[in-house]
Amino acid sequence: MEMHSYWKLTGLVEEEDGLFASYCPELGTASCGDTPGEALANLREAVSLHLEGLADVGELERTLTERNIRTRLSE
């Protein structure tokens, strides 16, 4: 059985001047879109790129620890 790690993160979406802003408070990552769904999809991509970048420079574990984000395992 292969185990996978994951994180539970928050995605907030708010309307601002006819657009929708999205924000992940745990990471401080933000994005936007023309609809709430697009804003959330863009946020997912931004969070993924943020986490990938942190891993690439060896800062993922330190950042997760500092921000009190727990790594969880699933099958």
pLDDT surpasses 90 at 2: no
CATH code that applies to domain 9-70? 3.30.160
Write down the pTM of the prediction. Answer: 0.86
Q: Is residue 20 helix, strand or coil? A: strand
CA distance 23 to 9: 10
Quote the pLDDT of residue 47.
97
Q: Residues 2-11: what's their mean pLDDT?
A: 85
Q: Which helix (H) or strand (E) covers residue 53, if one does?
A: helix 36-56
CB distance 5 to 70 below 8 Å: no
Q: Residues 56-69: what's their mean pLDDT?
A: 94
Kindly tell me the number of DSSP H helices and DSSP E strands found in the chain: 2, 5
